Amino acid sequence: MICFDTTVLIWGVQQKAVPGQEGRVERTKRYIDSLHESNEQIMVPTPVLAEYLQFFDTEERKRQLRTLEKYFFVPAFNLPAAYLAAGLAHKHQAQGGERSDGTSRQELKTDFQIIATAIVNGAALLVTDNLEDFTRLADLAGGRIKVSDVPNVHKQLDLDV
C-alpha cells in the first residue's frame, strides 16, 4: 500500500501545481495510473484529507470527499496512530526538535499524524514533496516506512507502424 501526502494528492486529483511544479501533475498522473494498473491500493490518511479539503467551499468539499472515498483508502487517525505519533514527537523533541525552515509546529504535528497513520495501516511507502521532514520522521520510526518523491513512471508511447 502506498500513502500520499497532501501536495501529491493535489497534483493527482486536482491536477494543479504552483509555478515551478508544472511537470509534477503529469508525473503524478502517470504514477497513479501505474498504481491502479498493478492493483496497488493508495492510502490518504485523514490528516491529509483535512489539509486537502480545507480550501473548498461546502458543496465542493462534499464532492471531493465522495471522489476520494471512491478511489482511495482513507484510514482514520486512531488510538494506535495517536500513540505512535506521540512517541515520534517525543523522540523528535529528545533529539532537539529541529524543523526544516518554514515548518510550523502545527504542520509538524500533522506530519507526525500522517506518518503514524500510514505505518499503523501498513503502508510500505509515503510519497511526498516534503522529503526532508518525512525522511527524518521515518528514521525516528525505525525505518518502518520508506519515503519517496513521486516516482517517475515512463509512459510507453504508441508506435505508428
Helix/strand/coil for 3:
strand
Evaluate whether 137 touches 115 at the Cβ level (below 8 Å): yes
Note the pLDDT of residue 38: 95
Residue 155 resides in a domain: no
What integer pLDDT is reported at residue 96 of this predicted model? 79
- Please give the pLDDT value at position 100: 57
Q: What is the pLDDT of residues 25-75, one digit of tens each?
A: 999 999 999 999 999 999 999 999 999 999 999 999 999 999 999 999 999
If one counts the domains in the chain, the total is 1
Q: Does 157 map to a domain?
A: no
Is residue 41 assigned to a domain? yes
> What is the rounded CA–CA span in Å between residue 159 and residue 161?
6
Average pLDDT (126-133) is 94
Would residue 23 count as lying in a domain?
Answer: yes
| CATH number of the domain to which 63 belongs | 3.40.50.1010
Report the predicted TM-score, pTM, of the whole model to 2 decimal places: 0.90
Does any domain span residue 92?
yes
pLDDT of residue 102: 59
Residue 20 placed within a domain: yes
Cell of 69: 472515498
* Cα gap 110→98, rounded to integer Å: 15
- Domain-located, residue 85: yes
Q: Residue 57 belongs to what domain range? A: 2-148
Q: Is residue 154 part of a domain?
A: no
Contact predicate 150/28, CB 8 Å:
yes
Cβ pair 88, 116 in contact under 8 A: yes
Cα–chain center distance at 75 = 12
